[in-house]
Amino acid sequence: MNREETTLSEVHYDLTPLSLAASVKYRYARQTRLSLAVRTNTFQMGDIAPMLPKISKFKPQGKIQVSVTAESGPKDLADLRWDGECVFYGGLIQTVRCD
């Protein structure tokens, strides 16, 4: 933390079978920007679906591994531009009818 930015270099979150690592940098000098990075181990989507109600309705199956970064625009911190990979191994997601 200094006069120009605050950095949270690495946070680890273990929620077996999911292991997640994230880092965040918030720049407040000159142009305000938020940047972050997230990566996970390879895990079974169905194992964590019950903990994520918005995802569980799709009944996900198979494995996934995520490695992504995001950076905000200078005017709106919520306007994140994402880049990276979500790799699926034998993935299956059921569609849900929205009436």
94, pLDDT greater than 90: no
Higher pLDDT pick, 78 / 89: 89
pLDDT digits (tens, 9 = 90+) for 24-79: 999 988 888 999 999 999 999 999 999 888 888 888 999 999 999 999 987 888 88
Question: Is the Cβ–Cβ distance between 49 and 55 less than 8 Å?
Answer: yes
Q: Determine contact, residues 44/17, Cβ cutoff 8 Å.
A: yes
Q: How far apart are the first and last CA of the chain?
A: 49
